[in-house]
Structures are given as C-alpha cells and as structure tokens.
Amino acid sequence: MMLETMLALFAPVIAQLGLGVDAWSLILIVGTVIVYFVVAIATHVTDTDEFYVADRSIPAIVNGAAVAADWMSAASFISLAGLVSFLGYDGTIYLMGWTGGYVVLALLIAPYLRKYGKYTIPDFIGDRYYSDTARGVAALATLFVSLTYIAGQMRGVGIVLSRFLGLDITIGIIVALGLVALIGVIGGMEAITWTQAIQYTVLILAFLIVTAAISLDLTGNPFPQMALVTSDIGARLTQLQADIQMGRYIVPFREYSQLQVFAIALTLMIGTAGLPHVIMRFYTVPSASDARRSAGYALFFISLLYLSAPVLAIFAKFNLIQTLNGESVSTAQNIPWVERWSQTGLLTINDKNGDGVIQMTQSLTSEASEVFIDPDIIVLATPEVAGLAPIVIGLVAAGGLAAALSTADGLLIAMSSAVSHDIYYKIFNEEASQRKRLLVARIVILAAAVVAAYLGINPPGFVAEVVAIAFGLAAASLFPPILLGIFDRRMNREGAITGLLVGLIFTLVMVVLMRANVVLGFEEPLLDSFLGLGALGIGLYGSILNFAVALIISRFTPAPPDDVIELVEEIRYPRGSREAIAADGGSETTSDD
C-alpha cells in the first residue's frame, strides 16, 4: 500500500512523462535486470562454500525472502491465478498442494537437513545411505526434476519478453537464460540469494498492487480479500457465467475427478517437499534454528501472494467476460491490449458463427470458443484489461520476469551442485582443487542453461502443467529417501536406491507416454491415463511405489551401520539446533544453549 500511495503522489509527474506501456515495461525490466547484475558482481565468489551455500552466512529473513522467490515461480505469479480463474474450484488444487507442501517441508525436512549440514540433497542421500551409487542416482533425479521445472519457468520468461519487449519467444528464452546463467557463474549461491530477495520484493509489490487496484476499480474497496467477502462480485460473476451458459464458477470436480483432485494435490504437496533447489536454500543459513526462522518468514511472504491469487482470479475473469462478451469482433480486435496479446498467439478471437459479435459460451481455453485465451496470460493481461496506469502494467511485467528468473537461478545452481559436487568431486575426483571444482560448477551452469533453453522452447504444457510434472518427479524420486532417511532408522542403501530408481523410472516413463505428442513428436499421447490418473497426478503412484519398494527391500537386507543409525538419531534430536554445522559435519561454532 505504501507504494500505491507513492504512485498516487507521483501520478501527475509520471503522467507528464508521457510514457506508454512499452516504455515503462522496457525501463522496469531492464532496470531490474541491471540491479540483479550489480548484486552479482558485488557478491562474486571465489570458493566452493560461497558458491554452493553462500558461506552459510545468509540472515534468516533474507533467506526467507529468497525461499519465497524460489517458491513462487512463474507458475505461482503468472499461472496460478489463471488456473483458478479458468478451472474455478478445481484450480485451487494447485494452491492447496503447493501451500501444503511448504508446510511439510518446513516442519519435516528443512531443519533436519540443515542440522546435518553438507551442500546438496544428493550429499545427504549419499552419506545417509553410505553409498556413492545412492548419491549418483539422487544427483540424476535432481537433474530430471530441475530440467523439467526450469522448462516451465522459461516459458514464463518467453511470454513476458515477447509481449512487453516485442521479442520472439525463442529469442526471449535464450536471452533470459543467458542472463540467469551469467549471474550464477559470477556469484553462485551468494549472488543468487541476494538477487532472489530483491526479486521477491519486485514480484510481490507487482502482484499486490495490481490486485488492490482492480479490487478498488470493481468494488470500491482496495483490500481485495475484504472486498470479495463484503461485495457482490462473486455473485455477479456466477450470474454472468450463467447468462452466457458457461456454467457455475464454483462447482467442484468439473474439470478433474475426485481421484484426480486428491492425487494432484497430494503429488504437488510431497513433490514440493522434495524440490532440491528449495531445500538447498536452508543450507545457506548459519544454523538449524535459523532454518526454522527462515521457513517462518518464507511462509508469511508466500501467504501474501497465495491469499491474493484466488481473489485476483475472480476479478480477472469477471473483467474479461464483461469486456469482451457481446462486443463486436471488429471493435474487440482494435482494443490495444487485444492487439498486443494477439500478436503473441496467446489470445485469439475467431467469429465462428459469422455474426460479427463475440459470444463467450464455451471454456476460454477450448478451441470451440470464439475467444481463446492462454491461462498463462491472465495475470499479465489483467492490468491492461482493467485500464491501469502504464507504470503498473510495466511493474507487473517486471514482477513476472522476476518470478521466473528467481526460480531459474535456484534450479541452475541445484543442477550445477549435483554434477560438480556430487558426481565430479564426490564420486570421481575427491582430490580436485577448489579452483577446478569452481570451474566445473560454472561450466555445468552454462551447459544446463543450454538444455533448459531447448526445453523452454519446446515445453510439454503450459507453465503450471510443466511445473506440476516436475513436482511429480520430485515426489516419486527424492521425497521418500529424504523422509525415510530422517525418520526411519532401519532404512538402508539397498532399499533407498531401489525405491528411488523404481519411483523415478516409473513416473518418467508414464509422463513421456502421456506427453508423447509433445516429447516424442507423436500426433497423440500413447497413454491417456494410468489407473485413473494423468501426467499431473501420476507422481503419487510413483511415490507410493518408491515407499513400498524401499520399505520391503530394506527389511530383507542388512541394517545400516551403527554410525549411520547414530547419525539419524543425532539429526532428529533437537539439541544443538543453534549450532552452525560445517560441510564436513563438524560444528563451526559453539551453541549458546
């Protein structure tokens, strides 16, 4: 609200500048990117502790903001409100799954892993299961999850740059990944943490301002959650949809069955708790106690957006239908924001019955509709639909870019750490010098960026879909061995490795078969569903397989060594949570409790 007040005070000055949407978008996007680079240069790193875990020196509140930025990717900023807007009740499964997963992560995973120390998730799995094979398999799982996840982020980047800077989506993705990779190469986790904290500030201001502005415009109340409860906007949207035969807005299980809703929400939940780039963030604070505090800060920061997204979804859909339905086709096509978004191919108007008037009588994502709108543009287009000031529209563009770049940053460092630290250093060359390890880490970032660019140009779905698939892979591969590694003393390497491989391979094969039209170039998917679940929820079956196989195998094979059992007890025991633990497992400072 403070920024809103400032914008109101400076509105006359801003208006005098005479800058339009494109100019403000260019200024704010380029300006924020320059800030990210300045931070990267100022925090450039020279050793592996700084590169992998920011020397474990990040304050809890800064890490909380960085975790929130890592968490609220392009899927949250760009796609979440669009999904709720288009799917209604069923779209809230993403909200429930991601939020619930964060609670699982904050309570059951993060503090324990931070207490253990080390650099990466494969590092924990390799040591906990006393096996380089386990370490290598976990590193491969990290690569699969991160590459899938980053494809969704790059699509978000492409959408922002193509619409607001006029770049081709492919060029936009390549340019953005080049920028992200350069920040990672220069500053590693140190630079990424501080840039993510700044990116969080940019994206949350953008999201809250546009939500408050639309709330004020539609209801006269600038507090969106309060406006939704006290005004009749929900009833008006329901009536509007009923008038155009679009069906009721809040009807459960219209797009997904009960089984699918349960499976997708649970997959997102446990997949979220297994995301390597988010878990790594908790290694950057001085102690397990700081990890808990940063988890609390992050929960507050995340809630600001997640409590606003469903409200924005309702406002956006009402505004969209009210603006376009019943409008003449020629008039609608000459509306500036319709023209601009039509050029990106993400919005099309097709007068199917030839009467010259738009009838929005079908789902807006259906090819049968006279208006086709990609769900990913809802948040980005809403300020223009509502006729907000150009500077606000530019700020939303910068916010969308910040959301995508912050997560892409984290994913690149997670992949770099998995290859350079867990595979190269820990498995193949333990004598490697700091300089050589840093060189490998930086080369891996560049190589991962190239692969990510390809996947971003050819994504297997829209942003939230791709991200949901990544969560499914994490749920089926990394989450079970992490959870069992903390809470099951009897779990051994044989069980963990077998379970991880079974869960990962099963889910990966299922996703490829169900997305064969995109991944393999077939005309149709080779498999629509498996036991009632599609690609978005199949990770649940993979996770169940992983748990079952791991538990069965571990009970018929030798127990872990005594020192590993003692390690599990030590991780779970609360004593020493304020101690800073070094990467080699030793204490760096003495506890004050």
Phi, psi of 347 (to 5 degrees): -140, 130
For the segment 532-536, the average pLDDT, to the nearest whole number, is 85
Position 510: which residue type? M
Which pLDDT score is estimated for 577? 55
Helices 169-219 and 21-42: crossing angle in degrees, nearest 10, is: 110
**pLDDT band, very low/low/confident/very high, at 515 (cuts 50, 70, 90):** confident
**pLDDT band, very low/low/confident/very high, at 56 (cuts 50, 70, 90):** confident
- Does residue 587 register a pLDDT over 50? no
**pLDDT band, very low/low/confident/very high, at 592 (cuts 50, 70, 90):** very low
User: Percentage of the chain surpassing pLDDT 90?
Assistant: 19
- Does residue 432 register a pLDDT over 50? yes
Rounded Cα gap, residues 398 and 33, in angstroms: 9
For the segment 71-99, the average pLDDT, to the nearest whole number, is 80
pLDDT tens digits along 130-178: 999 999 999 999 988 888 888 777 777 777 777 777 778 788 888 888 8
- Does residue 179 register a pLDDT over 60? yes
Tokens of residue 105, six digits = 């992560």
pLDDT tens digits along 117-128: 777 889 889 999
- Does residue 575 register a pLDDT over 80? no
Phi, psi of 117 (to 5 degrees): 90, -140
What is the pTM (predicted TM-score) of this model? 0.83
**pLDDT band, very low/low/confident/very high, at 590 (cuts 50, 70, 90):** very low
Compute CA distances 376 → 154, 199, 587, whole Å. 12, 20, 46
User: Percentage of the chain surpassing pLDDT 70?
Assistant: 90
**pLDDT band, very low/low/confident/very high, at 16 (cuts 50, 70, 90):** very low
